[in-house]
Structure 1
C-alpha cells in the first residue's frame, strides 16, 4: 500500500471535548475501509467533521477502488492508503490499523455516517471501563440515502434488532466500532482471508479476553442495498457460512442475531406448503398458518415498523422479510451440502490468522488463496 494526503489531526483542548478522567481525551484514529463508495464516502467524511470530539486522524484504506473514492478522501485531507489489488474488508482494516497512530481505533465503514456525538460517546464509555475491549453502535432508523422501499426494509430491520441487543454482548460489528489500540494489538488483526463474517470470527477472539458493549450512544446512518435481487443474493451468499461458523465458533450466551430460527422455519414452511395449497383447496390453510406463525416470530418488529412507516408499509415489509428469511434457510442448507462435499469449505472459520502483529497481510491466514471463493462484502 502507498499513502497519500495529509493527516487530519486536530484534537480540541476545550472542555466540551474532554471525556473526563482528567487530562486530554485519547487520540482517535478513524479507519475507513473503502471500495468504490465515492458517493457515500463523502457523506461519511462530512459526518466526521461534525463530531463533538474531532478525530486525531482519518485514514481511508482504499481497496483498489476504480471510482473517484481516492479523490474524495484527499479532498477531505485524509491519510489515504491505496492497495494495488482488491483484497477485501479485513485486509483493508488491517492496513489502516497498522498505519494508525492514535490511542483508540474507530473502525467506520464508508457507507455510514456518524451522529455528531458518536466518537465522544465511544471514548467516554471506553475510558469509564478499562475492561471493555470494544464499543460499537446501532444503525439509525432512517437510511443514509433514500433509494426506496427495499432500503427502508433493510434499514428498519437493522435498526430494530440492534436496538433490542443494546448492552453487554459477545458480538461486535465493526462497521462503527471503537477499540483501544492496546486491545487490537493484543487480539491481533482481522482474519485477512475473510470477506464475509469477519466480525463473527473476530468477536470470538475478542470476547474471550474483553467485554464488548453495543450502545445506542453511537449511531450511524447506513446506505443499505436497495435492489431486491442483489439484496436476496447477498443474504443467500452470507447464509452459506452460518453452519460452518456455528460448528467452529459455538455461540456464546447473548450473541446478537438479526433473525430468529422460528422466523426462518415459519418462512420455509409457508413457501413449502404453497404447492399443496394449489393442488388441494382445503390445504390453503397451511400457508396462511405459516404467515401467521412468521408474523408472530417477532411481533415487536412489526409494531416498530408500523410506528415508523405506517400500516400501509407493513404488508410490503412482511413480504420482503419472508423472502429474506427464506434465503437464509436456502443458503444455510446449501452451505451444509457444500461442507459435506468440500472439506475445505468454510475452513477459514477454524481459527485466528497466524501471527498477531498489526501489519499482518493476506499471507498471514491459512486460506489466503481462498479469498476469491468468498465473494461477499469487500469494503465499506
Structure 2
C-alpha cells in the first residue's frame, strides 16, 4: 500500500509539563511519513519554548480560542492526506499512527479513527488521576467499534472527510468534539479502536474534574435536544440511570430521619442501583487496584454521577429559558435552523 503523508496536529494550551513527552512520542512513531505542527492557543506557560526546543514547527495564536479553532488552524497550515489530532497531554504508543493509517487504508467507509487511552495516567499519578484514567478507559473500551462520539485526543481523519464535514465549530470550547462526532458520523463511519493507544495526563484534582464534567453535561443538552438521541459509544442508558439513581440518593438520606429507620432502604437501594448500572467498571477497578482503591473509586464516581445529573438539570433549565442556549448548535442543523 501507499504511504500517505500524515499531518500530526497538536493543539496546546498551558501544557508545558506534558508537551515534551507528547512530542517525543510523536517522534518515536514507527510510521515514516509524518509532519508535525503545534498550534499554541495563547499559552501563558513555556509551551512554545518547549515545542521549539523539540525542533517542531509552532503556530502561536494571538488569543485563546479553544481546541476546535486551534485544530482548524492546524488543518489549514498542513498538507497531509490524513490529519491526526493529538492533545498535548497525550503520549501515543509508537504504532498509533501506523495502526490508524492501516485501518483507513483497509476500510474506505471509515472516515475517522479514534484511539483508546490506557488506564494508567501519564504524569500526575494521584488517586484522582488514577480514578479518571480507569473510568475513562473503561467507558471508551466498552464502546469500541462504530460510534458517534469523537475522541479528539487521538484521532485520525481523512482530509477529504474533514473538508466535506467542515471545520470544528470555533464557538464551542468544551463540546466541540460531541458536535463534530455527530456531524461526521451522519456521513461516514467513525471508528473507536484499541489498536490506537496512548496515555493521558488526566485531571489530578477533584474539584477541577467535577467542574469540567458539570459544564460538559450542561452544554450537551441543546445538541441532544436537537438530535433527539445520545452519542453512541460513551454514554449509555444504564449510565444515565446510574447517574439519576446517585443524584436521587442524596435527598433520600433524609427519609430515615423524617419517616423512621426502615426508610433507610431507599437511599441504600438507590446507591446500590447506581453502582449496579456500571458494575463491570467497578470490577475492573477492583481487579487492577484492589479493595482500598475500589472504595475510593466508588466514592468519587458517586460524586461524578451527582455532578453530571446536576449539569443536565441546569442545562435543561437553561434550554427552557434561553433562546441563545437552544441555538448553540444551530450550525449543526442548518436546514432546521433555517425553518
Which TM-score band applies after superposition, normalised by the shorter structure?
over 0.9
State which drifts further: 305-314 or 117-126: 305-314
Asked if residue 297 in structure 1 is aligned to residue 281 in structure 2, the reply is no
**1:265 alignment partner, one of 220, 236, 244:** 244
Q: Unaligned 5+ residue runs, structure 1?
A: 1-20, 355-380
Q: 1:30, 1:55 within 8 Å by CA — same for their partners in 2?
A: no
Question: Which string of whole-angstrom CA distances, capped at 9 and with x for unpartnered residues, describes residues 350-370 of structure 1?
Answer: 22499xxxxxxxxxxxxxxxx
**1:65 alignment partner, one of 43, 48, 52:** 43
The alpha carbon displacement at 1:281 in A equals: 2.5
TM-score, normalisation: structure 1: 0.84
| Counterpart-to-counterpart distance in 2, 1:260 and 1:322 | 12
| Counterpart-to-counterpart distance in 2, 1:46 and 1:228 | 29
Q: 2:141, 2:194 within 8 Å by CA — same for their partners in 1?
A: yes
The alpha carbon displacement at 1:71 in A equals: 0.6
Q: 1:105, 1:179 within 8 Å by CA — same for their partners in 2?
A: yes
Q: Unaligned 5+ residue runs, structure 2?
A: 335-339
Asked if residue 318 in structure 1 is aligned to residue 276 in structure 2, the reply is no
Q: 1:267, 1:325 within 8 Å by CA — same for their partners in 2?
A: yes
**1:342 alignment partner, one of 307, 319, 322:** 322
SS at match of 2:246: helix
> How many pairs are equivalent?
332
Q: 1:192, 1:353 within 8 Å by CA — same for their partners in 2?
A: no
Question: Which string of whole-angstrom CA distances, capped at 9 and with x for unpartnered residues, describes residues 253-292 of structure 1?
Answer: 8443177112111101211211223443222222111121
The alpha carbon displacement at 1:170 in A equals: 2.4
Per the alignment, residue 137 of structure 2 pairs with 159
How do residues 10-21 of structure 1 correspond to structure 2 at under 5 angstroms? Answer: 21=1
The alpha carbon displacement at 1:346 in A equals: 4.5
| Counterpart-to-counterpart distance in 1, 2:200 and 2:59 | 23
Query: Which one has more relative contact order, counting CA pairs under 8 Å at least 6 apart?
Result: 1
C-alpha spacing 1:353/1:61, structure 2 compared with 1 (3 Å): farther
More helix by share: 2
The alpha carbon displacement at 1:54 in A equals: 3.9
Q: 2:11, 2:71 within 8 Å by CA — same for their partners in 1?
A: yes
SS at match of 1:257: coil
C-alpha spacing 1:155/1:58, structure 2 compared with 1 (3 Å): same
CA RMSD, Structure 1 to Structure 2 (Å): 1.7
Per the alignment, residue 233 of structure 1 pairs with 211
| Counterpart-to-counterpart distance in 1, 2:290 and 2:128 | 15
Asked if residue 250 in structure 1 is aligned to residue 228 in structure 2, the reply is yes
**1:276 alignment partner, one of 236, 248, 255:** 255
Per the alignment, residue 288 of structure 2 pairs with 308
Asked if residue 133 in structure 1 is aligned to residue 111 in structure 2, the reply is yes
Moved over 4 A (4+): none
Q: 2:140, 2:233 within 8 Å by CA — same for their partners in 1?
A: no
Per the alignment, residue 18 of structure 1 pairs with none
| Counterpart-to-counterpart distance in 2, 1:350 and 1:74 | 39
